[in-house]
Structure 1
Amino acid sequence: MTLLTLTPTVRESPAQRRASTAADTLFTRHGVTPVTLDDVADEAGLTRDELTAAYPSKRELVVAVLQRWHGAWRRALDGIARDADDPRDEVLGVFGYLEQCFADEGWRGCAFINGHAELGRTDPAIAELARAHFADVEAHLTQLCARAGVPSHVAQALSLLVEGARVESAVQRSAQPARVARLGAAMLLSVYEPRTSS
C-alpha cells in the first residue's frame, strides 16, 4: 500500500487540477459519499475516461482534495509569517485567516474534520491524513510559542481553539467563532507577556 502524505509527490496535471477542484467543490457541498465519479467528471468538464485517467478512484480524489487543503493552509501560514514581525502576531494572524475562511459563503467546515467524520472509521489512511494535519497545526503553533517565549503546552490550547472554531463555524455558518477564538488566544498569550523592568 502506498504511503499517503499531506504533500503531493508530483505536481498535478491540468486534468488532475480540474478534477480535484471539481471534487473539492462537490465534497464540500454534499459530502464525499453521495458524490459519484460521474458527478465529478460533469463538474470538471471532463469525460469519465479523462477523469479516471487523472484519478482512477474516488479515494484518490479525496486524498488530492485533502492535499489541496493542507497546501492552502501552509501557504496561508507563510503569508502570515511574511506580514508579521512578532510571533505573537503570527499566532493571532492564524485566527484572522480562519475568520476570512469562515466568512466565505462557500465555507462548510474543514475538509479534514469533515473527512475524518465521514470516512475516518472505515479508511484508516484518511484518518491518518487528518491526524497528520492536526499535528502539523499544533507543531506550527508550538514553534511560534517557542519563538515568543511562551510554554509549549500553550500551543495545545491554541490548537484546540483553532479546531473548535473550525467546527463551530461550520455549525453556526458564521465567522464569529474565529473572533472569539482569537480573543481566547490573545488572553492566553497575555498571561506570558514579557515583563519589562521599570
Structure 2
Amino acid sequence: MTPPSLIAPAPHRTSVQDAIVVSADALFTAEGITPVALDRVAVGAQVTPAELREAFPTRQALVVAALQYRHDEWMTALITAEASFEDPRDQILAVFSHLEDCFTDHSYRGCAFINGYGELGRLNPVVAGLAHEHLRQLEQHIAILCAAAEMPAHLAPALTLLIQGAQVEAAIHGNITPARTGRMAAAMLMSVYEAPSLF
C-alpha cells in the first residue's frame, strides 16, 4: 500500500524530527540507505540515539520521512525554477535548467527515488510505492504544464522520461551534459506542437 505521505502535504514535524530527517537525507543520498548506521544519523542531527528512536521508532519510518522530505524539496525547487517564466513551454525547459544547476554540485548522486528503488524497491513495497508516487506526481506536474501550453497529454510521460534519464546519466557520468541534452531533446519534442497563433 502506497503511504499517503507523498500525496498529502508533509506532516508537521518537531525541530528534532526535522534535524534527524535532514541528516538522514544527506547520508542516504551520499551513501545509500542500507550502509548508513542510525547512530551516524543521530550524530549528524546532533541528537542522542534515544532521541532518534523516540522520533522514528523504526528504520523504515525514517526512510519514509527522508524520502518524503526529498520529494517536497524537489517539487518546491522545480516550482521555484519555473516561477521565473510565464510561458508553460519555458517552464518545462526550466526544469532542465534546474537539473543543470543540480548537476554542477559534485556531491550529486542521482535521484533519491531511483536510487532507493534500485537498492530496496524490489524487496520493500513501501519504498517501491514511494518511488512510484514520486514519479506519478512529477508526471502529473509536467502534464499540467503541457495542458497549459496546449500540447497533448501524452507528451508528459516522454518529458518525464527525459528528466529522469538525465538524472541517471548525470549520476553516472558526473557532469552537466545530460541536462543540456535533455533540454535540447525536450525543445525538439515540443517544437512538433507549435504554440497556437494569436492572429
TM-score (norm 2): 0.93
Q: Which residue of 2 aligns with 1:68?
A: 69
Q: For 1:40 and 1:8, locate their aligned partners in 2 and report how far apart those are by CA, in whole Å.
A: 24
Shift of 1:22: 1.0
State the match for 1:164 in structure 2.
Answer: 165
Cα distance change, pair 4–44 in 1 and its aligned pair in 2 (3 A)? same
Q: Percent identity?
A: 47
Give the match for residue 5 of structure 2. Answer: 5
Distance 1:54-1:8 versus aligned 2 partners, 3 A rule: farther
Residue pairs, 1:175-186, within 5 angstroms: 175-186=176-187
Corresponding residue pairs, total: 198
Corresponding position of 2:50 = 49
Please, which moves more after superposition, 45-54 or 75-84?
75-84
Match of 1:111 in 2: 112
**C-alpha separation in 1, matches of 2:104 and 2:40:** 27
Q: Give the conservation status (yes or no) of the 8 Å contact 1:145–1:155.
A: yes
Could you tell me how far apart the structure 2 residues matched to 1:25 and 1:167 are?
Answer: 18
Inter-CA distance 150–105: structure 2 relative to 1 (3 Å threshold): same
Q: Secondary structure at the match of 1:70?
A: helix
Question: 1 CA distance for matches of 2:91 and 2:74?
Answer: 14
Question: Could you list the per-position Cα deviations for residues 150-178 of structure 1 after superposition, in whole angstroms to 9, with x for gaps in the alignment?
Answer: 11111111011011001111111112111
Change (3 A) 1:118 1:8: farther
Gap regions ≥5 residues in structure 2: none
- Whole-Å Cα distance in 2 between the matches of residues 168 and 20 of structure 1? 27
Q: What letter matches 2:109 in structure 1?
A: R
In 1: Cα distance, 2:29 partner to 2:82 partner: 28
Q: Give, in whole Å, the separation in 2 of the partners of 1:2 and 1:165.
A: 26
1:104-129 deviations in Å (ceiling 9; x for gaps)? 12211111001111110111011011
Q: 1:2 and 1:189 mapped to 2: Cα distance?
A: 33
Q: Deviation string for 1:138-160 (max 9, x for gaps)?
A: 11111111111111111111011
* Deviation by residue 1:49-81 (Cα, 9 ceiling, x = unmatched): 011111122211111111111111221232134
Alignment RMSD, CA only? 1.8
**Residues 80-106 of structure 1: per-residue CA shift (max 9 Å, x gap):** 342111000110011111111111122
For 1:17, the equivalent position in structure 2 comes to 18
1:18-167 matched pairs, under 5 angstroms: 18-167=19-168
Asked if the contact 1:110/1:166 (under 8 Å) is kept, the reply is yes
